[in-house]
Amino acid sequence: MQYSSALPLLQRLRIRTRRRHSLELPPRSADETSPLLSLMLALAALAALAVALVPPASYLLALQAHEAGRLETRAGYLANELARRSWLIEQEDHRGALGILRQNASPSMAAEHVRLLQANGSLLAEVTPLEPLARPLLTRRAAVPRDSGPQAEVEVTRSLRPALQKAALLLLLCLLLGGMIFVLLRLLPMWMLRQALGHASYLATHDTLTGLSNRRPSRTG
């Protein structure tokens, strides 16, 4: 008892840490952390795909709906104008109907293809753009209300190429942003995991009070 009480405090701490050596858990291996890394990689890829694809798709659908509404308004306006002057439809040359179909067609307006059709689908009058419309195309029709005579329809067609170009530009930006998010979500959690595993390995091999190693050095004879 006198000898044990005379030992320095540091030596007693070393003896206690050596006794606890057999109870310590070894650090985790790479095989044990691979499922966690796979889950982190899958979540990072899912977040990057969501950022890269959802905004362009939503923007394209919104542009398509907006353009469809504009076409329906344009076709309805022309149909109402033709209904107010229904005698123009019955003319053989349809010059008056062509004048109405060209109404409000300013240079700033998107190129469009306007046709006046009978109920059976035969063409009565047509206003074609200077250049053929690029595909894909969007078409809307509006019936011309008439009290007597055959019914007619106004058909307006425009190109969706400008909307696709805007959506493609947004897609490139979102792909760049998604790639940055993927790299960030891929590297940052791995760095934090390595830091945590390194700290856990240090705690498993060192005394928390003194900071000294509690592993016995191997003796080579």
* Strand 137-144 with 152-159, pairing: antiparallel
Query: pLDDT tens digit string along 83-109?
Result: 888 777 777 667 777 777 877 665 667
pLDDT tier at 21, thresholds 50, 70, 90: very low
CA-based nearest residue to 74, from 163, 161, 158:
158
Q: Between 30-84 and 161-205, two packed helices, what is the crossing angle to 10 degrees?
A: 160
CA-to-CA dists, residue 20 to 23, 69, 143, 198, angstroms: 5, 77, 90, 20
Question: Exposed e or buried b for every residue in 170-195, given b needs 16+ CB within 10 A?
Answer: bbeebbeebeebbeebbeebbeeeee
The per-residue pLDDT for 108 is: 62
Could you tell me which of 168, 164, 142, 138 has the C-alpha nearest to residue 153? 142
> Global pTM?
0.63
pLDDT class of 167 with cuts at 50, 70, 90: very high
C-alpha–C-alpha distance, residues 49 and 42, integer Å: 11
How many angstroms separate the Cα of 82 from the Cα of each of 68, 87, 99, 165? 21, 9, 10, 35
Q: What are phi and psi of 56, to 5 degrees?
A: -65, -40
**Per-residue confidence at 25, pLDDT binned at 50, 70, 90?**
very low
Of the two residues 216 and 44, the one the predictor is more confident about is 44
